[in-house]
Amino acid sequence: MHDDHDHSHDHDHDHPHDPGHHHDDDHHHDNHYSDMQARVRALETVLTEKGLIDPKAIDQIVETYQTRVGPRNGARVVAKAWSDPEFRDWLKRDATAAISSLGYSGRQGEHMRAVFNTEDTHNLVVCTLCSCYPWAVLGLPPTWYKAPAYRSRAVIDPRGVLAEFGLTLAETTKIRVWDSTAELRYLVIPERPEGTQEMSEDELSALVSRDAMIGTAIAGHASTGDGY
Amino acid sequence: MSACDIPSPFDPSLMAQSPGLPKSPEGEPAFPEPWAAEAFAMTVHLHEKGLFTWGEWALALSFELRRPGKADDGSDYFDSWVQALSTLIGEKGIADEPVIAALQKSWQRAAEATPHGKPIELANDPLR
């Protein structure tokens, strides 16, 4: 099942899975640590060297946080897109502006693009090179999103990856894989579930999981989320 | 360490004693960027291991938050958090400020020297 999706790489990275890419040396700023990022890494290094912390334990605490807090901002964006056709159009045209109109914007000035699932197209977001993620709308990325297994396999075998998440799509459904970058991040707008016409935006947003907005689940359905 | 040993970072009493911690509408901590969550998690972890009491922590954090020149909107809250953690790590004799600052620079050089797509490792610092 390697030929039924198209790569939608908008960004010219040195990309191991995309033979059609171009090198672009203007992106060396992608690997840059802010003072705070570097300081936190420094603290982690000294604490690990002294045996005071186990980085895996820290990851697990962060994971606990992200499953508890969840991506409620993104869910509100999706619910509004389902309920408000004007907002939906705006989101299609200029997701960065539409999302920031709700008060959600990244501190790093990254741009957002909303990708809409349809009856015949399913969208899946990955960052093959690191773990670029739309923090402002989705909170912290799950550990699996940062794991090499997901980052490489989401591009090579998206259908297989989705199946591991418990999401089996019809053979005829096209899968588009979007590779996030430091400058451009994607939010999947899942399809509105059937039978939700009477629901308020608040009720609708409760149907939208983090995984549905990454594309490893669909709205109104829980994902196992532990494929990795 | 098994998952069962992981302390919950959401102990409400701890949260209540982290003055000014930004919270989501649901009352959970709101982290602007991943490093902030990592700093938060390290602090909780070190506290649970008994390196410092939460009282000591709150004192160190309050001291940083009260420094002049802080942003009115609290957007540098976690900058203060990280500085407070650095200070406590120094006071506990784990690593003093020059050591931490040197490592910080080293990580920045390592990041710049790492081709995109490769994991950033400290060993990539050309001056190490």
Cα nearest neighbour of B50 on chain A: A52
Average pLDDT over residues B46-70: 86
- DSSP 8-state code for residue B32: S
CATH code of the domain containing A194 = 3.90.330.10
Cα nearest neighbour of B27 on chain A: A69
Residues of chain A with confidence (pLDDT) below 70? 1-30, 64-70, 105-110, 130-131, 182, 221-228
Active site residue A131: yes
Q: Is A44 on the interface with B (CB under 8 A)?
A: yes
What pLDDT sits at residue A48? 93
Active site residue A100: no
Q: What is the pLDDT of residues B69-100, one digit of tens each?
A: 887 777 788 899 999 999 999 999 999 999 99
A203, burial (CB in 10 Å: exposed 0-12, middle 13-18, buried 19+): exposed
- Look at residue B4 and tell me whether its pLDDT is greater than 70: no
Q: Let me know if residue A98 belongs to a domain.
A: yes
Distances in Å between the Cα of A84 and the Cα atoms of A27, A142, A195 are 37, 29, 17
Q: 3-state class of A188 per DSSP?
A: strand
Rounded to whole angstroms, how far apart are CA atoms A134 and A105?
9
Pick the catalytic residue: A8, A100, A105, A131?
Answer: A131
What pLDDT sits at residue A117? 97
Q: What is the pLDDT of residues A81-92, one digit of tens each?
A: 999 999 999 999
Q: Let me know if residue A191 belongs to a domain.
A: yes
Q: What is the pLDDT of residues B8-42, one digit of tens each?
A: 344 444 554 566 666 655 555 667 777 888 898 89
What pLDDT sits at residue A5? 42
**Which residues in chain A touch residue B60, judged by CB atoms under 8 angstroms apart?**
none
Beta carbons of A206 and A36 less than 8 angstroms apart: no
From the list A35, A43, A54, the residue facing B1 with the nearest CB is A54
What pLDDT sits at residue A66? 59
Q: Let me know if residue A224 belongs to a domain.
A: no
Q: Let me know if residue A132 belongs to a domain.
A: yes
Q: Let me know if residue A38 belongs to a domain.
A: no
Nearest CA of chain A to the CA of B24: how many Å? 8
Chain B residues 37-66 with CB within 8 Å of chain A? 37-42, 44-46, 49, 51
Q: Let me know if residue A228 belongs to a domain.
A: no
Q: Let me know if residue A75 belongs to a domain.
A: yes
Overall domain count for chain A: 1
Q: Let me know if residue A56 belongs to a domain.
A: no
Distances in Å between the Cα of A148 and the Cα atoms of A173, B117, B118 are 26, 11, 11
pLDDT, chain B, mean: 79
What pLDDT sits at residue B26? 54
Q: Dump strand ranges (E) for chain A.
A: 5-8, 111-116, 121-126, 174-179, 184-189
Structural domain span for residue A133? 5-14+71-214
Enter the ipTM: 0.84
Nearest in space to A71 (alpha carbons), one of A227, A222, A223, A211? A211
Beta carbons of A48 and A54 less than 8 angstroms apart: yes
